[in-house]
Copies of this chain bind each other. A is one copy, B any other.
Amino acid sequence: MASIKDVAAAAGVSVATVSRVLNDHPSVSDDARARVLAAVETLGYRPNAVARSLRTDQTHTLGLVISDVMNPYFTELARSVEEEARALGYSVIIGNADERPDLQDHHVRNLLDRRIDGLLVSPTDGGSPLMLDAVRAGTPMVFVDRWIPGVDVPVVRSDGQAAVRDLVAHLHGLGHRRLAIIAGPAATTTGRERVEAFRTALAAYGLGLPEAYVGQGDFQAESGRRVTEGFLDLPEPPEVVFAADNLMALGALDAVRARGLRVPDDIALAAFDDIPWFVHTDPPITAIAQPTGELGRAAVRALVDRIEGRPPESVTLPARLVVRRSCGESPARNRSQS
């Protein structure tokens, strides 16, 4: 592969001059510039990003460590992150932690070794020493979706409180009184917050959230199935199951179906995180939608601000309720349809 030396030789100038035209430094004659450009063209020269990074100590690369690529929410997040990063002149390397702290650490270490310029992470747990050290060492970092309390890192996330309140109002209006939740891991902020928001919203209607109605999931489909089976086995099963993410909702749907029960007739179902597929499930699932794309873009902007020396901003965007049919027909719809 042709190097800068070859170009210099072909153009009859020094490597410094070649470098200057490539980085369009002002101080180079038109003549030299033309000869260099011609040489670059004929040799098909492309600068070696590895060497360049070594010298400049910048890779123009962002790391993104997410908890689960197979979750459409994170896929969409990853996509918007890459788009915004590309627009700002950065590449992104994605690490999939699969909700496993050890894998998360593996990726963080790998990305740090590659000297990425900054790290976007949606932490799977409370933060390993490795990650905390990286923050302390000054690695530009931004948390997205989930975060770690007490760590001084900007957070870009969405606030579901209002939407959860709307959801509970919707459920209450439909006559449901026994509401259960499939929670995410307590080690994650989203895992805890969604339960709290739910509990608070219930309280506003004088409803409680008994221990038995809080199932412990791990944001994966299988746990949704397991927890839902537990709910169904209760002497007094809930009338509604609210899954704290879309995958667990899918598992819950499976469990309900496996018993030969139907949604929403026998039990209602709602989920946090809306995805395109929810329109097409049987029945379409009522969900709380995050502004995922905007979240990804804002996270990248915050990180790049931090990297380039501008003060980064934490951002919180509201989520919103999208009503479909999985919790029962609303009176208005019923009237118009039946």
Q: Interface of A with B (CB < 8 Å)?
A: 1, 44, 46-51, 53-54, 59, 69-70, 72, 75-76, 78-79, 82, 86, 91, 93-94, 96, 106, 109-110, 112-115, 133, 137, 221, 250, 253-254, 276-277, 279-284
Contact = CB atoms under 8 A, between A and B. Distances in A.
Main DSSP-derived SS at the A contact region:
helix
Nearest to A113: B49
16 contacts: A46-B112, A48-B113, A48-B115, A50-B54, A50-B59, A50-B114, A72-B72, A82-B96, A91-B93, A93-B93, A94-B94, A277-B277, A277-B281, A282-B282, A282-B283, A282-B284
Given A110-B91, A277-B281, A79 B75 contact: no
A69 B109 CA distance: 24
Contacts of A254: 279-280
A130 to B, nearest CB: 10
B49 A115 contact: yes
Nearest to A280: B281
Contacts of A109: 46
Given A50-B115, A82-B96, 17 more contacts: A46-B112, A47-B113, A49-B113, A49-B114, A51-B54, A69-B78, A70-B79, A250-B276, A250-B277, A253-B280, A277-B277, A277-B280, A280-B281, A280-B282, A281-B282, A282-B282, A282-B283
A186 B50 CA distance: 37
The 10 A-B pairs with the shortest beta carbon distances in the complex, nearest first, are A282-B282, A49-B113, A277-B277, A280-B281, A49-B114, A50-B53, A50-B54, A93-B93, A50-B115, A54-B54
Contacts of A250: 276-277, 280
Contacts of A279: 254
